[in-house]
């Protein structure tokens, strides 16, 4: 089907017999004999696949994809391959729209919404008709700086991450040779200043302020169930609640693509109570537990007035902090691995983004440290800032002035004297 020849100048030529029995010559130039033979082998595989009406095998397809444009175009010219798409054939808006459309079957609606936001930022900055090949690393620097100027640090990082994904697709499709955004920082950092621990006292106040049974159940699932609101309530049906087993099935669109579409959550007493009330009031034949959530675009907007009615100030990241507060509570009572299976995340994510500091922990640690200090002082006497050489002969040494008694003060090396109950524990 193909034969190699080399002229006296060392240039290789490949004569190919096409499926229609026509002969075409390909000039390969001055290359190693081994490379020329590999080229011949792959071309013969392409001809064979065309004759048999088969798709290219994985190795041959990968070889074609890696061919430089010049060599690829030679195979196109003799009819063995279809024209390779060029970056110039794709405008930015059309390409990104196609990418997002291809992700819809596997992504949660919330993720698609974030992808659309990243697309909007790109189009607003570069324009819809900008060619992929015309976006350089310098352009990427300007775009990233623009986002960080107008958005929060984590919001900007998230959008840059999505833009990197857009252009990775273009690189894999051989539309561009490199990703101009691949060296932009897209690290998501925990924002400690927005963390808030929702206490049990606050939970009960808000529960009393909820206007009806459904809102009491929504609030309880947010703070006691620790579920993601609204995505993990939207499709919950009464069949997911197993009162006898003491469990409730949670459907999670966010983790569906990780083969974790569902998880089992214990039916905590608080959940059992609000679900019982809600079930008694549900219309006969109703399937969904939370019908209002299914048509509610943003439950936070409804939750904020309820929190204010309870006499509390609305905290940032309203439902995320509820989820984090519950995970923190449960981690004090159960193994973290077990809690993470209930909550639907990993131990690493829990430690990095969900575990919250509590004032009670600081108070307990301070009291314990102060108690240890008092015990130490009671056994060792007052602290001195000087080192005294002590003789091994203790027969004539008088008893310590405060031996057996806990001192009222501690003397630091600086010369300052403080009451024991006010000593700062490092």
Domain map of the chain by residue range? 2-77, 88-189, 194-354, 360-388+399-422
Among 50-64, 248-262, 277-291, name the most confident range: 277-291
What pLDDT does 401 receive?
A: 46
What pLDDT does 250 receive?
A: 95
Classify domain 194-354 by CATH architecture: Orthogonal Bundle (1.10)
pLDDT at 368 over 60: yes
| Separation of alpha carbons 12 and 6, rounded Å | 4
Mean pLDDT over 161-170 rounds to 94
Q: Which residue has the tokens 């459907």?
A: 251
Q: Residues 329, 198: contact at Cβ < 8 Å? A: no
CA-nearest of 322, 139, 137 to 223 is 322
Bridge partners for 241 per DSSP? 248
What pLDDT does 382 receive?
A: 55
**Helices H / strands E in the chain, number of each:** 17, 8
Mean pLDDT over 168-174 rounds to 87
Q: Locate 425 and state its tokens.
A: 């524990």
What pLDDT does 51 receive?
A: 87
The strand ranges marked E within 205-334 are 241-242, 247-251, 262-266
3-state secondary structure of 425: coil
Of the chain, the percentage scoring pLDDT greater than 90 comes to 46
Q: Give the CA distances from residue 398 to residues 376, 383, 391, 407, in Å, rounded to whole numbers and listed in that order.
A: 21, 18, 13, 18
pTM of the model: 0.57
**383-423: per-residue pLDDT in tens?**
444 444 444 454 554 554 444 444 555 444 445 544 544 44
| Separation of alpha carbons 110 and 99, rounded Å | 16
| Phi, then psi, of 289 in degrees rounded to 5 | -75, -40
**8 vs 350: which has the higher pLDDT:** 8
Q: Locate 208 and state its tokens.
A: 């009393």
**78-114: per-residue pLDDT in tens?**
888 887 666 555 789 999 999 999 888 888 788 899 9
pLDDT at 199 over 90: yes
pLDDT at 152 over 80: yes
**43-55: per-residue pLDDT in tens?**
999 989 988 888 8
CATH number, domain 88-189, options 1.20.140.10, 1.10.150.130, 3.40.50.620, 1.20.120.330: 1.10.150.130
| Separation of alpha carbons 406 and 383, rounded Å | 11
- Whether the bond between 230 and the residue before it is cis, its omega within 30 degrees of 0, is yes
What pLDDT does 359 receive?
A: 66
Q: Residues 26, 71: contact at Cβ < 8 Å? A: no
Q: What is the CA radius of gyration of the chain?
A: 35
Per-residue pLDDT band for 329 (boundaries 50, 70, 90) equals very high
| Fold match, 88-189 / 194-354 | no
Could you tell me where the DSSP H helices lie in 55-136? 58-66, 69-77, 92-103, 109-126
| Separation of alpha carbons 383 and 404, rounded Å | 14
What pLDDT does 319 receive?
A: 95
What pLDDT does 358 receive?
A: 67
Comparing 166-175, 255-264, 282-291, 415-424, the range with the smallest average pLDDT is 415-424
Could you tell me where the DSSP H helices lie in 210-298? 213-220, 231-234, 269-281, 291-294
Element of type H or E holding 195: none
What pLDDT does 275 receive?
A: 96
**135-151: per-residue pLDDT in tens?**
999 999 999 999 999 99
């Amino acid at each position: 089907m193909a034969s190699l020849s080399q002229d006296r100048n060392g240039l290789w030529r490949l004569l190919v017999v096409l499926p229609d029995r026509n002969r075409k010559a390909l000039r390969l130039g001055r290359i190693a004999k081994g490379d020329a033979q590999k080229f011949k082998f792959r071309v013969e595989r392409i001809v064979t696949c065309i004759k048999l009406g088969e798709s290219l095998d994985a190795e041959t397809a990968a070889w074609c994809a890696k061919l430089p444009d010049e060599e690829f175009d030679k195979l196109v010219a003799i009819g063995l391959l279809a024209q390779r798409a060029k970056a110039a054939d794709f405008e930015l808006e059309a390409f990104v729209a196609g990418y997002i459309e291809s992700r819809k079957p596997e992504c949660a609606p919330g993720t698609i919404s974030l992808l659309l936001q990243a697309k909007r930022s790109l189009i607003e900055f570069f324009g819809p008709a900008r060619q992929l090949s015309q976006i350089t690393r310098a352009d990427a620097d300007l775009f990233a700086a623009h986002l960080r100027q107008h958005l929060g640090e984590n919001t900007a990082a998230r959008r840059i991450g999505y833009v990197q994904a857009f252009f990775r697709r273009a690189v894999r499709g051989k539309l561009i040779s490199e990703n101009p955004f691949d060296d932009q920082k897209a690290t998501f950092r925990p924002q400690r200043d927005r963390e808030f621990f929702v206490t049990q006292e606050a939970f009960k106040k808000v529960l009393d302020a909820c206007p009806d049974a459904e809102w009491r159940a929504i609030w309880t699932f947010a703070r006691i169930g620790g579920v993601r609101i609204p995505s993990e309530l939207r499709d919950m049906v009464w069949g997911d609640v197993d009162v006898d087993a003491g469990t409730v099935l949670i459907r999670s669109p966010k983790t569906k693509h990780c083969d974790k579409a569902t998880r089992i959550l214990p039916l905590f007493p608080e959940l059992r109570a609000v679900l019982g009330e809600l079930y008694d009031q549900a219309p006969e034949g109703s399937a969904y537990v939370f019908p209002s959530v299914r048509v509610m675009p943003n439950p936070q907007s409804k939750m904020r007035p309820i929190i204010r009615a309870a006499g509390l100030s609305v905290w940032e990241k309203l439902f995320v902090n509820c989820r984090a507060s519950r995970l923190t509570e449960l981690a004090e009572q159960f193994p973290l691995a077990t809690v993470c299976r209930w909550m639907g995340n990993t131990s690493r994510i829990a430690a990095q983004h969900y575990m919250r500091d509590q004032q009670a922990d600081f108070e307990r640690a301070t009291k314990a440290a102060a108690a240890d200090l008092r015990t130490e002082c009671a056994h060792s006497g007052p602290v001195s800032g000087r080192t005294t050489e002590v003789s091994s002969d203790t027969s004539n040494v008088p008893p310590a002035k405060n031996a057996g008694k806990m001192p009222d003060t501690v003397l630091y090396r600086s010369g300052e004297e403080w009451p024991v109950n006010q000593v700062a524990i490092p």
